[in-house]
Amino acid sequence: MTGRASGREPSLADVRLPDRVRAVVLVLHGGAEQDDQPVDGRSLSWRRGRQLARDIAPPLAGDGIGVVLLRYRMRGWNVASDGMPAPVADARWALDELARRHGRPVALVGHSMGARTAVAVAAHASVHGVVALAPWFPRGEPVEPLRAKALRAAHGRRDHVTSAGATRQYVERAHGVCDATFTDMGDVGHYLLRRVAAWNAIAVAGVREVLAAR
């Protein structure tokens, strides 16, 4: 599966599917608040997302869970004239594409901006829930898309890019609409570069919990 062409179109990349697909994880990589440059192989956020996808695919394959990475059209959140952030539009396209090709339940795994993107599209019929790693959750970020889904959020206390406190507050608000938990990752920062095995374990366990929650 290659999806649409790269560059100014989103694409599905690093596709890792077991022989019998029971469910699919869609990995959503991070980005910037504003950046209209195309996502390419030099993007550190893309490369971190690719490594995350490759790390979690082997343990999930035994559960019949495939892993697919979305490459956005551009690096930033970049709200369009219609009010739609660029990665949200790309993620909705990806979910429709996965539903068309596989028709299986989906768990979203997002890092940073990817986590914000994940909760924005969580209302999609195929989505069972979100695993949010060091998420970017601005004050007042809507929780309603998570209604009747599941949220597993994890954040380190030394994150100076996004806020662990904001993530805790988001999880507390999300309790009103969904099964939501917060994991304190301890003395680590934003980029998933320290305690890599622990981040991967949280992602794998979160996917399993999210898919079992419905």
Ranked by mean pLDDT, the top range of 5-14, 34-43, 127-136 is 127-136
Whether residue 152 is contained in a domain is answered as yes
In degrees to the nearest 10, what's the CA dihedral of 42, 48, 110, 86? Answer: 0
Would residue 2 count as lying in a domain? no
**Residue 169, domain member (yes or no):** yes
Distance CA 21, CA 23 (A): 6
CB 146 within 8 A of CB 174: yes
User: Within a domain: residue 124?
Assistant: yes
Structure tokens at 44: 């550190």
Q: What is the CATH number of the domain that holds 72?
A: 3.40.50.1820
Structural domain of 25: 11-212
User: Which alpha helices (DSSP H) does 3-85 contain, by range?
Assistant: 44-61
Please give the pLDDT value at position 42: 87
**pLDDT tens-digit map of 14-69:** 999 999 999 999 999 999 999 999 999 889 999 999 999 999 999 999 999 999 99
- Does the pLDDT of residue 82 top 90, yes or no? no
Decide if 42 is inside a domain: yes
- Measured CA distances, 200 to 79, 82, 104 (Å): 30, 36, 23
Residue 50 lies in a domain: yes
Q: Nearest CA to 56 among 214, 152, 211, 198?
A: 198
- 172-185 confidence digits (pLDDT tens): 999 999 999 999 99
Q: Which helix (H) or strand (E) holds 110?
A: strand 106-111
Indicate whether 120 belongs to any domain: yes
Q: How far apart are CA 194 and CA 38, in angstroms?
A: 27
- Total structural domains in the chain? 1
Does residue 5 belong to any structural domain of this protein?
no
Q: What is the pTM of this model?
A: 0.94
